[in-house]
Structure 1
Amino acid sequence: MIKENLTLFTWITLCSWILFGCCWLTLRNRTKENIQHRTTRQRWMAAIGYMIIFSALYYPLFTGTRLLPASPLLQGLGALLCVTGVCLSVWSRLLLGTNWSGGVAAKRNHELIVKGPYRLVRHPIYTGFLTALAGTSLVVGGGAAIFVTIICALSLYLKIGQEEILLNELFPGAYAAYQRQTRKLIPFIL
């Protein structure tokens, strides 16, 4: 059953997510010191969360159940969205550099990054991640993939609120001006 479901588009999404994972693993400890440290529990919860997300994304490959049609056009669009989203996330993560944190945390000598994709949206890593999730959902077509994409979008939207409070505290005035110039997730819209 799983071999029948592994289309070229599925392989493209899998390779994209592997690239994403390799980037995150490679760069995870190349950051400035956190002012507030994440607990071991928080780190484990994040790892478990990623396992759940990716298991749900690819669940239809094992069951053969799809909600969306297996249209080459729809799957091609999904693969393109996934690749684009992963590339945007990786580019944004590289630009953020040592200021990146897995949780909402201030770094010692934290800097405000406003170049590259940060000129258009304040949270391009999340924009890319959600775009890649949506693209993978179109390729795989399962209900669990669609559900996890919606839950991730809602969760990240809540996390953005916490991050923006922190960034306004770290960069009084400067972050508020940046907020007026850019959107949260989608250029010119949201």
Structure 2
Amino acid sequence: MFKESPTLFTWVTCNCWLVFGCCWLTLRNRTKENVQLRTTRQRWMGFIGYCVIFVSLYLPLFTGTRLLPALSALQAAGALLCIGGIALCIWSRLLLGTNWSGGVAAKKDHELIVKGPYRLIRHPIYTGFITALAGTSLVSGGSAALIATLVCAMALYLKIEQEETLLNELFPGTYAAYQQQTRKLIPFIL
């Protein structure tokens, strides 16, 4: 079945993503009502996107082709990045609470969250997600994983622009001041 034997690091990243998925599924309906509902098509496209990402991440297990060398140090670093990224995603999601939305959407009685990782970065869920993808890519070593990571990073960066426009409309003045005190994705840098 597998052309490449899964390493301990592969299992670590798989379990991280399993925890991520369980958390997201558990919390998905525990949110405030959207001002504008997401369509069924948007939900399906999101689901399909996640499926493509995760197939891309672990493709080398089935094809046996790696772009990156299978060095233990590289894979250990990747596993640590994945653990840290998933932990940041979950912490940030829990802090957002009922204000979270899968798409760019305003919630009824929307609140601006500025505690925890939100004190330093405005989009820590995206930071964590990209970090976990990059870490998993180091573990699996596949070119499809690296491409999926880059495409996701670019797509999330574009989504950030939409979110920030919406948040500036929802919190005039307040969000602009918050933007001046924080970075988008990487503390003190970006």
Give the CA deviation at 1:186: 0.3
Q: Aligned equivalents of 1:19 and 1:87: distance in 2?
A: 10
Equivalent position of 2:75 in the other structure: 75
Aligned position for 2:157: 157
Matches within 5 A, 1:126-137: 126-137=126-137
Match of 1:29 in 2: 29
Aligned residues: 190
What is the distance in 1 between the residues matched to 2:65 and 2:22?
29
Aligned positions of 1:61-72 closer than 5 A: 61-72=61-72
Q: Retained in 1: the 8 A contact 2:31–2:101?
A: yes
The 1-side partners of 2:181 and 2:12 are apart by: 35
* Structure-1 residue corresponding to 2:16: 16
Aligned AA (2:69): P
| Cα separation, 2, equivalents of 1:116 and 1:37 | 28
1:151-190 equivalent positions in 2, closer than 5 A: 151-190=151-190
What one-letter code is carried by the residue in structure 1 that aligns with 2:48?
A: I
SS in 2 for 1:103: coil
Q: Distance in 2 between matches of 1:100 and 1:122?
A: 13
Name the TM-score, length of structure 2 as normaliser: 0.99
Give the match for residue 94 of structure 1. 94
Equivalent residue, structure 1, for 2:110: 110
Q: In structure 1, what is the Cα distance between the partners aligned to 2:44 and 2:99?
A: 21
Q: In structure 2, the residue corresponding to 1:2 is in which secondary structure?
A: coil
| Structure 1 residue identity aligned to 2:98 | T
TM-score (norm 1): 0.99
The answer to whether 1:144 aligns with 2:156 is no
In 2, the alpha carbon distance for the partners of 1:130 and 1:5 equals 25
* Identity across the alignment (%): 76
Q: Does the CA-based 8 Å contact 2:3-2:64 persist in structure 1?
A: no
What amino acid is the match of 1:124? P
Aligned to 1:53: 53
Contact 2:4–2:60, Cα closer than 8 Å, also in 1: no
Distance in 1 (CA, whole Å) between partners of 2:134 and 2:184 is 18
1:117-153 Cα distance to aligned partner (Å, 9 max, x none): 0011000000000000000000000000000000000
CA positional deviation for 1:85: 0.1
Query: Which structure 2 segments of 5+ residues have no match?
Result: none
Once superposed, which parts of structure 1, at least 4 consecutive aligned residues long, lie more than 6 Å away? none
